[in-house]
Amino acid sequence: MHISLRFMTAAVAAACLSAGAAQAADAVKIGLLTTLSGPGAALGIDIRDGFELAVKQAGGTLGGLEAEVIVADDQLSPDAAKQTADRLLKRDRVDFMTGIVFSNIMLAVGQPVFQSKTFYISANAGPSQYAGAQCNPYFFSASYQNDTMDEAAGKVVQDRGFKKVALIAPNYPAGKDHLAGFKRFYKGEIVMEDYTQLNQLDYGAELSKLRASQADAVFIFLPGGLGVNFIKQFVGAGLNQDMKLFAPGFSGDEDVIRAVGEPMLGLFNTSQWAHDMDNAANKRFVADFEKEYGRLPTMYASQGYDAARLIDGAVRKVNGNLKDKDALRKALESAPFESVRGAFKFDVNHYPIQDYYLREVVKDAQGRVTNKLVGRVLENHADAYVGECKMPS
């Protein structure tokens, strides 16, 4: 799938005539490689839509340059993703890459991107490897590090006094990161820890184990269609009568809520963002996203939007000179944009230091089943791996 957005505004043309823009590029190319098919397709679609909304709001530009966004499907396949990334880097000569949802895809694509000295701006995947020993000057996360939302969830479950917890996540790098994050902050008994297939949609065996475990709480990291199926089956089996369900934002986001409906009511989930956060950037984003796409944005959409705004701010800060990689890296490190989540800054490993919040699925005043912001769980929170990062210059 290859979609290009090309725009030119009078302001851009005028800027190109000025002496200050002598070294500026004519355009900025973005390779947006994401998951657009299979159980995770809704996640990639929301990242794409959030990113494209930011470009549209800027009149088809990023940093004052004409923006060309090349969208491609990674098919949730590391091999397919590597082949497509190779095309984006070598044939299309993109200036930035973004869009990957799943950490196994990110780890497969990362090294070719970094070797080409192309900046990767993550709109979702936040593997622990790139936060620690494998941190890289060309990798920036505009989202989170995998463990962090789960650390917030672990704190919530610990603080609320649950004694026995069952854990379920897919068997891939992010699944292990997410459960590691939960266990870092939860100090009670883990009575079950199951890793499922990445594309699994039938959880009958896991539900039987849950029933036998006598857990009083269940924590899941099951993004997209995985979470949709699990929650439907969990409630259908009546397990919600005896066990409280917790999740990071991935499994309690608006895409899952739209598919599951009222059985989601009462689910607690943690995230660095909520659609009802009270700041000007977020209010504009949510209103424009609903107007453009006819649905509430998800956390994924907010991250795609912020990724575009980060690129916009950095390109603007170097006056469109994309060839000066050192200056562009320093511009990115300064995080020159107003995030929809509020306070945002980069740590030395190029992962965010940010707040994490508790959300609850409720029925709002309009009768919609949706998330409501409950409160802050962690403030100015850095990831657990930054101490292992010796960032190359």
What distance in Å separates the CA atoms of residue 292 and residue 285, rounded to the nearest whole number? 10
Q: Which two tokens stand for residue 166?
A: 């069952």
- The residues near 320 (Cβ < 8 Å, ≥ 6 apart) are 15, 21, 23, 24, 25, 28, 63, 64, 65
CB contact at 8 A, 157 and 219? yes
* pLDDT at residue 125, rounded to an integer: 96
What distance in Å separates the CA atoms of residue 15 and residue 292, rounded to the nearest whole number? 29
* pLDDT at residue 8, rounded to an integer: 37
Measured in degrees and rounded to the nearest 5, phi and psi for residue 138 equal -100, 5
| pLDDT by 10s per residue, the chain, length 393 | 444 444 433 333 434 434 344 478 899 999 999 999 998 999 999 999 999 999 999 999 999 999 999 999 999 999 999 999 999 999 999 999 999 999 999 999 999 999 999 999 999 999 999 999 999 999 999 999 999 999 999 999 999 999 999 999 999 999 999 999 999 999 999 999 999 998 899 999 999 999 999 999 999 999 888 999 999 999 999 999 999 999 999 899 999 999 999 999 999 999 999 999 999 999 999 999 999 999 999 999 999 999 999 999 999 999 999 999 999 999 999 999 999 999 999 999 999 999 999 999 999 999 999 999 999 999 999 999 999 999 987
- The residues near 206 (Cβ < 8 Å, ≥ 6 apart) are 168, 194, 196, 230
* pLDDT at residue 199, rounded to an integer: 86
* pLDDT at residue 278, rounded to an integer: 96
Half-sphere exposure for 246 (CA within 13 Å, toward CB): 28
Distances (CA, A) of 242 to 137, 216, 252, 333, 362: 47, 7, 19, 47, 20
Helical residues (DSSP H) of 214-348, grouped into ranges: 225-236, 254-260, 280-293, 299-317, 325-333
SS3 call for 195: strand
What distance in Å separates the CA atoms of residue 304 and residue 72, rounded to the nearest whole number? 15
CB contact at 8 A, 349 and 357? no
* pLDDT at residue 273, rounded to an integer: 98
Q: How far apart are the two ends of the chain, measured CA to CA in Å?
A: 36
CB contact at 8 A, 118 and 147? no
* pLDDT at residue 393, rounded to an integer: 76
Side chain identity at residue 164, one-letter code: K
What distance in Å separates the CA atoms of residue 232 and residue 32, rounded to the nearest whole number? 32
User: Helices (H), strands (E): how many in the chain?
Assistant: 13, 14
* pLDDT at residue 392, rounded to an integer: 86
